Amino acid sequence: MKKIIWGITVLLIMIISIGKFYEEDDVFLNYFLHEFDTTINITSNEHANKNSIIKLEGVAQNNNISFIKSERKPMNGTRERQTLKLYIYLNDANWFQDSYWNSKINKKENKLNKFSSGEIKSLLTRKKVQLKSFEKMNEVNFSGDYHVRGTEKEINEFVKEINRSKEMTAVIDKSYVVTSGITWKQVVLYMILVGCIISIFVVSCILFNNLISKELAVEGLLGYNNFGLSIRKTIDILLLPSCVGVVGSIAFILLFINAYMNFECVFLMKDIYVAIIKIIAVLFFAEWILLYRKIKSINLITWLKGYRKYSIRNSKLTKIVVTAITIYFATLSVMSYKEYTSLRGCLGNWKDSKHYANIACTWSWAYVEDDDKYNNVVAPKLNKLWNQLDNA
């Protein structure tokens, strides 16, 4: 039974840490947004070109602004690593190198954009992250969300100067968040899995504590107080598997991101370490409470004589709980398999979808604010485009 508790502890720590890694990886752009913490939506009023890019850099330099624009490359399959391109403009490159210590950049001191090229030496992500100079961005992608660094006054002046021009329109987006690709259904299934494993852990601890009741009674006769004995036993049971779970989690994540020889990534796992510490604290607290209650309920004389007053009742309760969990897992597995088989037939169609393209349209913010302008100018063009695509 002790080995079962060890296995469950290791499994739970690894599931929690890997789940946290997936969560952080899905919104990896947040890693850069702690410096570029203001989002501005910039649209081109005309067809954007290289001059638009140079002009935006000039406006940024006038107002002491640095910014990045992200571009995600669609994946051709579930196993392909997603490419995240970051187009960067820096009015000063020194602070960037200091803030992102794991990056290496090449500077252009005498140019409008002080950022030339760069790479990140260690990243806690599965994505392929590319750092590129803003001038290398395709003008087709000019319109969109820009993540900006500067004081509130500098950012406001930056937006005003853009809006004074006839080529671009800028609006500060205070509601911007990095969206996650993880669905609510996936979150629910993950929480159910974690909850079931914790339930099994609790039941296993109850059974194990019953098995060592006589040992606890003997140690009670030797003079150990209830609190100290429960703490010591809890540490004896959970310390080793907790250490194994932590090491196993770190090793698995490093292997997963192909960084098993890059130990700098170990220092980037702060949020994962916090999640691991929390789950270990929950496991230790749960076992300590169960063990402490068990020790307090032991009648030393009764146990030494071999009588177990509550053994039958506890045994029946345990069987009921274990049976309920087993039935639940079986039902969940059958439902998941049924859903998998129903979706498997669609894989062929989904594979063909890689030959399709997403078409995005944009227009000036003035048309968004004025319904008449939108209906008279934008809507007819969208309808015409739709008809052309439909007849193609």
Same domain for 141 and 192, yes or no, is no
Same domain for 250 and 102, yes or no, is no
pLDDT, mean of residues 252-268: 72
- How high is the pLDDT of residue 246? 93
Same domain for 134 and 69, yes or no, is yes
Residues 54-108: tens digit of each pLDDT: 888 899 888 999 999 988 876 665 566 778 888 999 888 788 877 877 778 888 7
What is the DSSP track for 311-330? HHHHHHHHHHHHHHHHHHHH
Buried residues in 21-54 as b, exposed as e (16+ CB within 10 A): bbbbbbebbebbbeebebbbbbbbbeebeeebbe
pLDDT, mean of residues 108-132: 80
Does residue 135 lie within any of the structural domains?
yes
**Domain range enclosing 198:** 2-26+181-343
Residues 187-197: tens digit of each pLDDT: 877 888 888 88
Same domain for 13 and 43, yes or no, is no
**Residue that is last in its domain, among 149, 172, 195:** 172
Distance CA 380, CA 364 (A): 15
DSSP helix/strand/coil, 229:
helix
Number of Cβ atoms within 10 Å of the Cβ of 114: 21
- How high is the pLDDT of residue 192? 80
Q: Is the pLDDT of residue 309 over 60?
A: no
- How high is the pLDDT of residue 205? 86
Q: Are 34 and 205 in contact (CB under 8 A)?
A: no
- How high is the pLDDT of residue 356? 66
Same domain for 126 and 49, yes or no, is yes
Q: Is the pLDDT of residue 327 over 90?
A: no
DSSP helix/strand/coil, 200:
helix
Same domain for 216 and 337, yes or no, is yes
Does residue 277 lie within any of the structural domains?
yes
Give me the number of domains the chain comprises. 2
Same domain for 211 and 150, yes or no, is no
Same domain for 137 and 50, yes or no, is yes
